[in-house]
């Protein structure tokens, strides 16, 4: 759950005006982005606590080892699409205490595991006893060949919150450390453009939106680290077809949802506009593929003249407006339910006859079926969104590759 490159580290304005007001207005008022940044990732922040995220909330990773096994099968598909490279990367974004990367490496077939390189990306210190094969980083490595997997990362990337005032104007919401809010300046600049494109607010007092621009940037940065392979984001999500009218900003503490108070005592999270992230990530994936193609072309063709290069650069610059690239055809948005089923996680109950012939096997299969049901449940983890962005490979979960 979490940043711009990893958890946190998203300081500064994402566009618009009045950054000084939102960061440190008199009386301790700050925009939600700066307040969340300090509360989660600053000194003594929530994500720097020794108990880790698992001490406060239950993710798919903690719900069952079946989740890591499914991700391992996805990594094997990526490996096949890459032509089984000599080194296969698995990057676990917002890794917590390394639970997912540990489970994925353990679930890989021996031949794949021998080539796999595991990376855990997290702001907290490396936990004691972690598998020595896992490299612990504060930011994702460049040049990834393999799978970058971000489970509940983007929902904790700090962002600004907007609310419509009595005059129908969308204004930034400012907050004190005790959680009390007031309205600040009107939303402007790139943030206003993002709202207009992805979350337009009708002029009705009290309507709210979370401005997802920092998350789009964070996701694009992560996708940009993938040289060839697949980037996946899994999170609470919504799309333009069904934005929540009052936003989703909330807190979690010790397994319970609570009011979001930016004092370091709780997680602060908001659902992710994954469609907006998909569009921004598609731009980055396209640029990576074009750069690779240009590099290959230089081996056999003459370089373009200065005019052609300038025209190409101007075209790319013009595509950086919110949503300008659109989602590439290969970018998929799926529910976790559909993604896990495509990876062979069925959750079917074992036949009752097995209880008579092998009671222990029956109980084990029954427990697995229960865990699979939790991971794919309607109204629960199964409703999470999966954004899958391939870079330079065919899509591993395309309809013709949804084998078990």
Average pLDDT estimate for 220-234: 97
Average pLDDT estimate for 132-155: 96
Whether the pLDDT of residue 304 is over 70: the answer is no
Q: Is 241 helix (H, G, I), strand (E, B) or coil?
A: helix
In a domain, 374, yes or no: no
The pLDDT confidence band at residue 310, using thresholds 50, 70 and 90, is very low
Least confident segment among 62-76, 146-160, 205-219, 318-332: 318-332
In a domain, 306, yes or no: no
Q: Is the dihedral of CA 41, 283, 396, 118 positive or negative?
A: negative
Identify whether the C-beta of residue 109 lies closer than 8 Å to the C-beta of residue 76. yes
Q: What is the pLDDT of residue 22?
A: 56
In a domain, 377, yes or no: no
Q: What is the pLDDT of residue 299?
A: 47
The packing angle between helices 274-298 and 213-224, to 10°, is 30
The pLDDT confidence band at residue 250, using thresholds 50, 70 and 90, is very high
Q: What is the dihedral of CA 235, 241, 245, 250, to 10 degrees?
A: 0
Distance CA 199, CA 243 (A): 7
CATH of the domain at 262: 3.40.50.12710
Most confident listed range (68-72, 279-283, 357-361):
68-72
Q: What is the pLDDT of residue 255?
A: 79
Q: Is 266 helix (H, G, I), strand (E, B) or coil?
A: coil
The better pLDDT of the pair 48, 225 is held by: 225
The pLDDT confidence band at residue 174, using thresholds 50, 70 and 90, is very high
**How many CA atoms lie less than 13 Å away from 70 in the CB half-sphere?**
25
Parallel, antiparallel or unpaired: strands 250-253 and 256-258: antiparallel
Q: What is the pLDDT of residue 306?
A: 31
Average pLDDT estimate for 274-294: 83
Least confident segment among 194-203, 233-242, 291-300: 291-300
pLDDT tens per residue across span 362-398: 677 667 777 777 878 888 887 999 999 999 999 998 7
In a domain, 9, yes or no: no
In a domain, 259, yes or no: yes
Domain of 96, in residue numbers? 19-284+325-339+382-401
Distance of CA 341 to CAs 74, 78, 104, Å? Answer: 12, 17, 18
Identify whether the C-beta of residue 295 lies closer than 8 Å to the C-beta of residue 301. no
Report the alpha-carbon angle 217-223-224, nearest 5: 85
Around Cβ 292, how many Cβ atoms within 10 Å? 14
**Average per-residue pLDDT for the chain:** 83
pLDDT tens per residue across span 99-113: 999 999 999 999 999
The better pLDDT of the pair 388, 123 is held by: 388
Number of domain units in the chain: 1
In a domain, 137, yes or no: yes
In a domain, 351, yes or no: no
The DSSP 8-state label assigned to residue 242 in this structure reads G
Whether the pLDDT of residue 289 is over 80: the answer is no
Distance CA 250, CA 255 (A): 13
Full DSSP string of 164-209: E-TTS-EEEEEE-TTS-EEEEEEP-HHHHHHHHHH-PPPS-TT-EE
Around Cβ 310, how many Cβ atoms within 10 Å? 11
Q: What is the pLDDT of residue 65?
A: 87
Distance of CA 143 to CAs 90, 233, 389, Å? Answer: 12, 18, 16
The better pLDDT of the pair 290, 343 is held by: 343
Model-level pTM greater than 0.75? Answer: yes
Identify whether the C-beta of residue 137 lies closer than 8 Å to the C-beta of residue 21. no
Q: What is the pLDDT of residue 227?
A: 96
Whether the pLDDT of residue 4 is over 50: the answer is no
The better pLDDT of the pair 19, 123 is held by: 123
The better pLDDT of the pair 312, 375 is held by: 375
In a domain, 356, yes or no: no
Q: What is the pLDDT of residue 12?
A: 37
Whether the pLDDT of residue 286 is over 90: the answer is no
The pLDDT confidence band at residue 51, using thresholds 50, 70 and 90, is low
Distance CA 29, CA 45 (A): 18
The pLDDT confidence band at residue 158, using thresholds 50, 70 and 90, is very high
């Amino acid at each position: 759950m979490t940043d711009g490159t990893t958890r946190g580290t998203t300081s500064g304005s994402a566009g618009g005006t009045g950054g000084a007001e939102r960061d440190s207005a008199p009386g301790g008022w700050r925009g939600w982005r700066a307040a969340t940044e300090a509360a989660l990732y600053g000194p003594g922040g929530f994500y720097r606590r020794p108990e880790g995220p698992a001490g406060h909330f239950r993710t798919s990773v903690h719900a069952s080892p079946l989740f890591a096994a499914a991700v391992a099968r996805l990594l094997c598909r990526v490996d096949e699409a890459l032509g089984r490279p000599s080194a296969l990367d698995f990057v676990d974004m917002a890794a917590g205490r390394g639970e997912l990367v540990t489970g994925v490496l353990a679930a890989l077939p021996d031949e794949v595991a021998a080539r796999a390189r595991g990376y855990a990306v997290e702001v907290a210190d490396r936990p004691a006893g972690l598998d020595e094969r896992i490299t612990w980083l504060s930011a994702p490595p460049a040049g990834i060949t393999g799978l970058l997997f971000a489970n509940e990362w983007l929902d904790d990337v700090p962002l600004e919150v907007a609310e419509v005032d009595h005059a129908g104007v969308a204004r930034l919401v400012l907050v004190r450390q005790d959680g009390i809010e007031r309205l600040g300046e009107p939303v402007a600049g790139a943030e206003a453009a993002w709202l207009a494109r992805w979350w337009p607010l009708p002029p009705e007092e009290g309507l709210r939106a979370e401005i997802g621009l920092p998350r789009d940037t964070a996701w694009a940065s992560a996708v940009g680290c993938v040289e060839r392979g697949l980037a996946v984001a899994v999170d609470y999500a919504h799309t333009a077809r069904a934005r929540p009218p009052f936003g989703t900003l909330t807190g979690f503490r010790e397994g319970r949802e609570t009011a979001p108070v930016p004092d370091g005592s709780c997680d602060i999270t908001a659902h992710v506009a994954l469609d907006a992230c998909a569009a921004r990530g598609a731009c980055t994936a396209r640029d990576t593929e074009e750069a690779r193609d240009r590099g290959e072309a230089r081996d056999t063709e003459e370089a373009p003249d200065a005019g052609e290069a300038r025209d190409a650069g101007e075209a790319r610059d013009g595509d950086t407006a919110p949503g300008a690239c659109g989602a590439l055809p290969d970018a998929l948005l799926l529910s976790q339910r559909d993604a896990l089923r495509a990876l062979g996680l069925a959750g079917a109950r074992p036949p009752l006859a097995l209880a008579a012939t092998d009671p222990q096997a029956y109980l084990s299969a029954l427990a697995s079926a229960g865990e699979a049901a939790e991971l794919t449940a309607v109204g629960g983890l199964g409703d999470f969104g999966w954004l899958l962005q391939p870079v330079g490979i065919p899509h591993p979960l395309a309809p013709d590759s949804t084998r078990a």
